[in-house]
Copies of this chain bind each other. A is one copy, B any other.
Amino acid sequence: MFLKSLLLVGFSLLVAFVVNVPTVEARIRHYKWEAKYEYRSPDCFKKLVITVNGRSPGPTILAQKGDTIVVELKNSLDTENVAIHWHGIRQIDTPWFDGTEGVTQCPILPGETFKYQFIVDRPGTYLYHAHYGMQREAGLYGSIRVALPDGESEPFAYDYDRSIILNDWYHSTAYEQASGLSSSNFSWVGEPQSLLIQGRGKFNCSSLTFASSDSNGVCIPSNPECSPYVLTVIPGKTYRLRVASLTGLSALSFQVEGHNMTVVEADGHYVEPFVVKSLFIYSGETYSVLIKADQNPSRNYWIQTNVVSRKPKTTPGLAIFNYYPNHPRRSPPTSPPVGPLWDDVAPRLAQSLSIKARQGHGRAPPATSDRVIVLLNTQNEVNGYRRWSVNNVSFDHPHTPYLIALKHNLTKEFDQTPPPDGYDFKNYDIYVKQNNSNATTSSGIYRLKFNTTVDVILQNANTMNVNDSETHPWHLHGHDFWVLGHGSGKFDISKDPKNYNLANPIEKNTVPVHRYGWTALRFVADNPGAWAFHCHIESHFYMGMGVVFEEGIERVGKLPTSIMGCGASKGLRLP
């Protein structure tokens, strides 16, 4: 089988060593990684980037369902800590290796090596990235691709399997961004300087206020590092393209000029196939699309990604869909296609509604829920600082990770008052700019009863600007959730649940809530641990747009010492 041999080639290239254990499916994939600052020019502009083994995006983790992934991560940053989140991996029985600084672990100190070890229990397309401060913006991210067990096959056919990650890219450092956001003299990060496709973009060097021939070589348009990414295809063949987004800010559209795409997977779950010209994708989401190389093979085509939902100030990201044997660097003869209208919500909402579990593959959600939590998304001013909040509570990281504080009953380490389960439904007008003068910051969390079913309604609203509501992709750690519905306007608990899709809802780990709209999710609180749930826009989460769920903490096994070392866990003596 081609897929398998491709994977095996990949393994021999990328895996430091592989230990065989008795069952075929349960191998250990052992990686040795080093995170380090290095100069890179992903969009022709040179800046310090956090690389993994010299690369950004870092090495792809290739595994098979049931494998154990071991990543020995050496922090070779100088004075800066690090933590890596394995995005989409539920960390069943290993909640301490979720990699979420402040929630599941202390940060990894410079000079130290931290061993992440977890099982990839489902096939699909996942991601990894830094989950500490705004460090993801520095370039520490990559792909995880989990194949089916031997002998099993996907419910769709393709000849080749490829992965790309979309990203937006800033020339300011993560420090500069964070300092601006956390200052009482608030400074917004602004729109990104470029869009990257698999780590490559093109910033217009001549647009800089300093000369492109700058003696420091800050921006070099001919740098091969920023030559476009090339996806070479053989005419007539079908490609499974795994498309992921890890943008800091931007919602994106993605298209391959002149080619249809059939969506077949979302966040590791099979999708009832539907065809798009342009795929909308939000930070933290992954999709597999099938693309047949069925166009005129004598030329190349543009792969393009555009900013949507915010007025674009960033030029589209471009890569080359290269029909073999045309030269991979040959530009397509056409102008890049025009993307969808940035401010048209309707097609984006329509796509969200189109994503359903593939027939015969979806797992049915529980018919009812035990608890409903409505989370109003607002932008606020809290104590003179610009923040994002849910239900007027802006999330404040504690210094002792929740998992440790909860397990060891260190009740002083975070606010013991949970944030509210809802907001003032009756009186709050989501369409107007609100004062929200009662907004606060808190490290309080939601405690969920183990094995109960929880509904979360994400309710969007107006920002601090008149007639403005943003798109927020919410990402849940440790679980997938069923997407029961999306709607416009204010969620009405007496009516809207009646229209929930309980028949074939998709399961996902990241989902957008559209402007002035709502999104309804359901999940079962069956994974003992402490789990972040947050807007995946880096600056929004940094500004407090997140919550933490705890469930079954009493079932969590002995925490590894390696996650300790900060806050109250510094001198903690384990029983």
A→B interface (CB under 8 Å) = 37-39, 48, 78-82, 106-107, 109-112, 132-135, 173-176, 178-179, 182-183, 208-211, 214-216, 397, 399, 561-562, 564-567, 570-571, 573
- Contact partner, A37, options B179, B209, B399, Cβ 8 Å: B179
- Contact partner, A567, options B111, B209, B567, B570, Cβ 8 Å: B111
- Contact partner, A79, options B135, B399, B561, Cβ 8 Å: B135
- Contact: A81 with B106, CB < 8 Å? no
Name 12 interchain pairs, CB-CB below 8 A, sorted by A: A37-B175, A39-B183, A48-B176, A48-B179, A78-B134, A78-B179, A79-B132, A81-B110, A106-B109, A111-B397, A209-B215, A565-B565
- Contact: B107 with A109, CB < 8 Å? yes
Cα distance A38–B173 in the bound complex, in angstroms: 13
Nearest B-chain residue to A130, judged by Cβ: B79
Nearest B-chain residue to A79, judged by Cβ: B133
Which residues of the partner chain B approach A215 to less than 8 Å between Cβ atoms?
209
Nearest B-chain residue to A216, judged by Cβ: B209
Query: How far apart are A114's CB and chain B's nearest CB, in angstroms?
Result: 11
Nearest B-chain residue to A397, judged by Cβ: B111
Cα distance A374–B564 in the bound complex, in angstroms: 43
Cα distance A21–B212 in the bound complex, in angstroms: 64
- Contact: A133 with B78, CB < 8 Å? yes
Which residues of the partner chain B approach A570 to less than 8 Å between Cβ atoms?
561-562, 564-565
Which residues of the partner chain B approach A173 to less than 8 Å between Cβ atoms?
48, 173, 175
Which residues of the partner chain B approach A174 to less than 8 Å between Cβ atoms?
78-79
- Contact: B566 with A109, CB < 8 Å? yes
Query: How far apart are A473's CB and chain B's nearest CB, in angstroms?
Result: 23
Q: Give the interface centre of A78, A175, A176 by most chain B CB atoms within 10 Å.
A: A78
Which residues of the partner chain B approach A133 to less than 8 Å between Cβ atoms?
78-79, 110
Q: Give the interface centre of A106, A111, A211, A216 by most chain B CB atoms within 10 Å.
A: A111
Query: How far apart are A314's CB and chain B's nearest CB, in angstroms?
Result: 17
Add 19 more A-B contacts to A109-B567, A564-B570 (CB < 8 A): A37-B179, A39-B183, A48-B173, A48-B179, A78-B175, A78-B179, A79-B81, A79-B82, A79-B135, A106-B109, A107-B110, A110-B133, A111-B397, A111-B566, A209-B214, A209-B215, A210-B211, A565-B565, A573-B573
Nearest B-chain residue to A109, judged by Cβ: B566
Could you say how many copies of this chain the assembly holds? Answer: 2
Cα distance A352–B183 in the bound complex, in angstroms: 46
Which residues of the partner chain B approach A216 to less than 8 Å between Cβ atoms?
209
- Contact: B48 with A175, CB < 8 Å? yes
Cα distance A37–B174 in the bound complex, in angstroms: 12
- Contact: A112 with B81, CB < 8 Å? no
Q: A179-B38, A209-B215, A209-B216 are in contact. Are A111 and B399 (CB under 8 A)?
A: yes
Which residues of the partner chain B approach A78 to less than 8 Å between Cβ atoms?
133-134, 174-175, 178-179, 182
Query: How far apart are A184's CB and chain B's nearest CB, in angstroms?
Result: 10
Cα distance A215–B210 in the bound complex, in angstroms: 11
Which residues of the partner chain B approach A179 to less than 8 Å between Cβ atoms?
37-39, 48, 78
Nearest B-chain residue to A570, judged by Cβ: B565
Which residues of the partner chain B approach A209 to less than 8 Å between Cβ atoms?
210-211, 214-216
Cα distance A37–B185 in the bound complex, in angstroms: 13
Q: Give the interface centre of A174, A397, A561, A571 by most chain B CB atoms within 10 Å.
A: A571
Which residues of the partner chain B approach A82 to less than 8 Å between Cβ atoms?
79
Cα distance A210–B209 in the bound complex, in angstroms: 6
Query: How far apart are A246's CB and chain B's nearest CB, in angstroms?
Result: 18
Cα distance A183–B216 in the bound complex, in angstroms: 17
Cα distance A564–B561 in the bound complex, in angstroms: 14
Ranked 9 nearest A-B pairs via Cβ:
A210-B210, A79-B133, A78-B133, A111-B399, A209-B210, A561-B571, A565-B565, A37-B179, A80-B80
Query: How far apart are A396's CB and chain B's nearest CB, in angstroms?
Result: 10
- Contact: A571 with B566, CB < 8 Å? no
Cα distance A570–B569 in the bound complex, in angstroms: 10
Nearest B-chain residue to A134, judged by Cβ: B78
Which residues of the partner chain B approach A109 to less than 8 Å between Cβ atoms?
81, 106-107, 109, 399, 565-567
Cα distance A183–B78 in the bound complex, in angstroms: 12
Nearest B-chain residue to A208, judged by Cβ: B210
- Contact: B80 with A112, CB < 8 Å? no
Cα distance A48–B182 in the bound complex, in angstroms: 13
Which residues of the partner chain B approach A80 to less than 8 Å between Cβ atoms?
79-81, 175
Query: How far apart are A543's CB and chain B's nearest CB, in angstroms?
Result: 13
Which residues of the partner chain B approach A210 to less than 8 Å between Cβ atoms?
208-211, 214
Query: How far apart are A415's CB and chain B's nearest CB, in angstroms?
Result: 15
Cα distance A561–B37 in the bound complex, in angstroms: 31
Cα distance A573–B573 in the bound complex, in angstroms: 7
Cα distance A110–B399 in the bound complex, in angstroms: 8
Which residues of the partner chain B approach A562 to less than 8 Å between Cβ atoms?
570
Q: Give the interface centre of A79, A178, A216, A399 by most chain B CB atoms within 10 Å.
A: A79
Cα distance A298–B244 in the bound complex, in angstroms: 71
Query: How far apart are A136's CB and chain B's nearest CB, in angstroms?
Result: 11
Which residues of the partner chain B approach A38 to less than 8 Å between Cβ atoms?
179, 183
Cα distance A133–B38 in the bound complex, in angstroms: 16
